[in-house]
Amino acid sequence: MSLDVNKIRKDFPILQRETRDGVRVVYLDSTATSQKPQQVIDAMNNYYQRSNANIHRGVHTLAEEATSMYEGAREKIAKFINAKSSREVIYTRNTTESINLVAYSWARANLKSGDLVILTEMEHHSNLVPWHMLQVEKNIELDFIPVTENGLLDVDSYKSLLDRAPKLVSFTHMSNVLGTINPVQEMIQMAHQVGAIVLIDGAQSVPHLQVDVQKLDADFYAFSAHKMCGPTGIGILYGKSALLESMPPFLGGGDMIKEVKLKSFRANTLPHKFEAGTPAIAEAVGFGAAVDYLSNIGMDNIAAHEHQITEYALERLEEIPGLKLFGPSADKKGGVAAFTLDGIHPHDVAQILDKDGIAVRAGHHCAQPLHEKFGIPATSRASFYMYSTKEEVDLLVNGLYKVKEMFK
C-alpha cells in the first residue's frame, strides 16, 4: 500500500498555513516534533468540553469518563508497542523523564561504585546527562560504543565492552542526527548474554517504525507522544513488570500510594506506583488518538514512504557543491538528513531557508559529543514524516542554492 500523502496532509491544519512572509509552510523538522492531525486536536478538545475531571478518585460521571479515557489510551499504547500488559506502560512527561526514572529508581537501587554502564557516542543528551549525574553520585564507570565515519556503531568495540561485564547498556534505537537505525534486537541479545539490563531510547523510532518490545526483548523502552503526532508534555516508559515491581517509587505524593500513615506509606501497584499527582489527562487522551491515527495508516506504510522520501532527499542534496551529508545511506537510516555547507554556519542556512517558509533545525541537536566526534560545532537537519513530499525536498534544494548564492 502506498500512502495518499495529499489526503494525509489535509488532516494537519498547520500544513495549510502561511508564514509571516505569505509563503506556505514547508515543515522539515519532524525529528524535533511532529505536527498534529485534526483527529488528535479534536480528541483533546472533546475531553475538555465534555469529560474534564480528575481521574481515579471520583465516582461521578465526569470522573469515570475521564478515567476510562486515560486508561483506555494506556491500553492502546500497550497494544501499539506489543507490551505484555498495560501495567508495564508508565506515563511520564517525555522520553527524558522516562530515562531519568530508570536512572533515579532502578540504577540508584542496583548500581554501586565501579559498575560499568555502556552508552554510545551518538546519544541525545537525555541519555547522557542522567548517567553523568549518577557517575558523580555513585562513582559508576561510563564507556561508549564508538561511531564509525559512516555513522554506524562499531559492533566489534561493543563486543569488547561487553567483555567487561556491564550492569546496564543504554542506547538510541535511531539517531536524531544521523538517522542511523541501530541493530537493536541483536545488541539487546548480546547484552543479555553477559547479564546486563538494557534501556532503549525510542524517541525517534516509535513514530516511524513498527516497534515490538516483546520481540526486541527490551528491559526498558522510552518514547514521547509529541514526535508521533501526539501532544507535548507526555511520554512513556515501558518496563518489564518484574523490573518495575522491584523498583522504588520515583516521586512521592497522591495516587502513587496504597496507604499513608503519619510515619510510613505503602506504594501503589503498577503502573500507578510511578505516576504521582494529577497527570496529563488531556494529553493522554490525545496520545491515544495519535496511536489510533498511526495504526489506521500503518507503521509499515509510514516507514516505506519515509524511506522513499529520504532516498530522494539524499540524492538531491548530494548534487549541491560544498554540501556534506552525515550518517549512513538511506537503507540504514530513518527520515533524517543532517548536513553542512562549506563556509556557511547552519544557523544562517536555517534562517535564510525560513524566508521561503522552509523549516529545518540548526545546531548540535542535543548531541554535542557526536558533533565533536565529527569535528564540527553544528549541522543543519531536515527531517521527514508521513506528510513529507518530494516537492518539499525540491523546495529545500532550491532554497539551499539560494543560500549559496547569498554567500557567494
Q: Annotated active-site positions, please? A: 366
Between CA 307 and CA 182 the distance in angstroms is 16
169-204 per-residue burial string, b: 16 or more CB within 10 A, e: under 16: bbbbbbbbbbbbbbebeebbebbeeeebbbbbbbbb
Between CA 25 and CA 20 the distance in angstroms is 10
Cβ-Cβ contacts under 8 Å for 349 (sequence gap 6 or more) = 341, 360, 362, 380, 400, 403
The neighbour count for residue 311, using CB atoms within 10 Å, is 14
What type of residue sits at position 356? D
Contact criterion met (CB below 8 Å) for 200 and 220: yes
DSSP run (H or E) holding 242: helix 241-246
Contact criterion met (CB below 8 Å) for 373 and 322: no
Between CA 15 and CA 5 the distance in angstroms is 12
Phi, psi of 67 (to 5 degrees): -65, -40
Strand partners for 325 = 339
**What does 304-360 look like in DSSP terms, one character per residue?**
HHHHHHHHHHHHHHTTSTTEEEES--GGGB-SEEEEEETTB-HHHHHHHHHTTTEE-
Between CA 384 and CA 313 the distance in angstroms is 10
